[in-house]
Amino acid sequence: MQMSKRDFLALGAAAGASMALPAWAQAKPLIANMNMFVPAAPGGGWDGTARAMERAAKAAGLVGTMQFENVGGAGGMVGLPRFVNQRKGQGNTLMVGGSVMIGAGIANKSPVTIKDVTPIARLTEEAGVIVVPANGKIKTWKELEAAIKANPKAVSVAGGSAGGTDHLILGMLIKALGKNPREAAYVAFAGGGPANAAILGGQVVAGISGYSEFEEQIKAGRMIPLAVSGKRRIPGVSVPTLTELGVNVSESNWRGVFAPPGISAAQREAMIDFVTKLNASAQWRQELETRKWTDAFMTERPFERDLAKDIEEKVVLMKELGLA
């Protein structure tokens, strides 16, 4: 049987179509190369957020490659000036930050603060959890409460950077229990790893951090969760709120992303588009569920307004607690 040129070309086209990659695999990623700046040591909440973003963005075909730089210390105040000065005008660069950075800037009287970067989006919110080591003397909330009421200075508590959310929760807690928040025996750590080690090693009486940072140790039975700091319980976690326990305190830690100063309006819009698509992806939804993070997505003017309000409120609260 003879095959005409037209038939031959038609057959070739059909074969080519069947071998073609699916549309999502052919499409170029939204951003070919992205730089992710994490102003904290590996192993903490900001680093965990950045790594989760990478996993979800790559799986959703939104980014080609993502390069990381970790510069930890002082609740982001060591890394932040570096980000501002060295990354100025770079439109393919994001920094993870959040409420901890606000408090740290106030506590450290830093000349460079969260006001010096370009807000892109708030992503998540996470309640703190108060834990004790399973092999420690204190095993229940009532025992911890009694110890704080007796002498706050004798109850050492590990957490993130000075002036951060963990520190504020402890100050608010001590005040709510009728003691002076300036007597808090707070031990600040630059990352989740060192804080975990101090709690498990019995170097401190208790610890405060986001649930995801303690989850592995809680599930393994090495830490006992006594209370969570949010307005409601964490879904799937049977730990009461401080309010349920009769303590009028609620505070959560939000995390978001920021671009450097000096980027163009078009570059800012491209980053907002990226995080909006990331937030809507099934891969990011899975990360939120796995890590028990609350979706707190907000961008553009609403985020800027919320950020300004948060800064104002933190200044008042930290002065009240003797942290500013």
* Residue 61 domain-assigned (yes or no): yes
pLDDT of residue 200: 97
Of 194, 219, 245, the last residue of a domain is 245
Query: If you average pLDDT over residues 210-239, what whole number do you get?
Result: 94
pLDDT single digits (tens) 190-224: 767 889 999 999 999 999 999 988 999 999 999 99
Query: If you average pLDDT over residues 280-290, what whole number do you get?
Result: 96
Q: Do residues 315 and 236 share a domain?
A: no
pLDDT of residue 20: 41
User: What is the rounded distance in angstroms from the CA atom of residue 191 to the CA atom of residue 213?
Assistant: 10
Query: If you average pLDDT over residues 150-154, what whole number do you get?
Result: 98
Instruction: Name the percent of the chain in helix, strand, coil, to the closest 5.
Output: 45, 20, 30
pLDDT of residue 25: 46
Q: Do residues 147 and 60 share a domain?
A: no
Mean pLDDT score of the chain? 91
Query: If you average pLDDT over residues 287-303, what whole number do you get?
Result: 94
* CATH number of the domain residue 71 falls in: 3.40.190.150
For the record, the structure tokens of 284 come out as 């990011």
pLDDT of residue 14: 41
Number of H helices, E strands in the chain: 12, 10
pLDDT of residue 19: 40
Query: 183: Cβ–Cβ under 8 A, 6 or more apart, which residues?
Result: 152, 153, 174
pLDDT of residue 252: 92
Q: Do residues 203 and 291 share a domain?
A: no
* Residue 25 domain-assigned (yes or no): no
Query: If you average pLDDT over residues 82-109, what whole number do you get?
Result: 95
Query: 14: Cβ–Cβ under 8 A, 6 or more apart, which residues?
Result: none
Of 245, 266, 300, the last residue of a domain is 245
pLDDT of residue 29: 92
Residue 74 domain boundaries? 33-125+254-321
* CATH number of the domain residue 237 falls in: 3.40.190.10
Query: Under a CB-based contact definition with an 8 Å cutoff, are residues 46 and 164 in contact?
Result: no
Asked if residue 12 has pLDDT above 70, the reply is: no
Asked if residue 2 has pLDDT above 60, the reply is: no
Top mean pLDDT of 41-45, 51-55, 106-110, 309-313 is at: 51-55
**Measuring CA to CA, which residue among 134, 135, 179 is closest to residue 155?**
179
* Residue 13 domain-assigned (yes or no): no
Q: Domain total for the chain?
A: 2
Q: What is the pTM of this model?
A: 0.82
Query: 125: Cβ–Cβ under 8 A, 6 or more apart, which residues?
Result: 252, 253, 254, 255, 293, 294, 295, 296
Instruction: Give the pLDDT band of residue 149 (cuts 50, 70, 90).
Output: very high
* Residue 4 domain-assigned (yes or no): no
Query: Under a CB-based contact definition with an 8 Å cutoff, are residues 80 and 239 in contact?
Result: no
pLDDT of residue 192: 74
* Residue 86 domain-assigned (yes or no): yes
Of 245, 274, 296, the last residue of a domain is 245
pLDDT of residue 44: 82
* End-to-end CA separation in angstroms for the chain: 90
**Measuring CA to CA, which residue among 106, 102, 101 is closest to residue 79?**
101
Report the percentage of the chain scoring pLDDT > 90. Answer: 80
pLDDT of residue 321: 85
Q: Do residues 145 and 238 share a domain?
A: yes
pLDDT of residue 135: 97
Asked if residue 21 has pLDDT above 60, the reply is: no
Instruction: Decide the pairing of beta strands 252-259 and 93-98.
Output: antiparallel
Asked if residue 15 has pLDDT above 60, the reply is: no
Q: Do residues 268 and 121 share a domain?
A: yes
Compare 188 and 24 and report the one with higher pLDDT.
Answer: 188
* Residue 37 domain-assigned (yes or no): yes
Instruction: Give the pLDDT band of residue 22 (cuts 50, 70, 90).
Output: very low
Instruction: Decide the pairing of beta strands 31-38 and 156-159.
Output: unpaired
Asked if residue 322 has pLDDT above 80, the reply is: yes
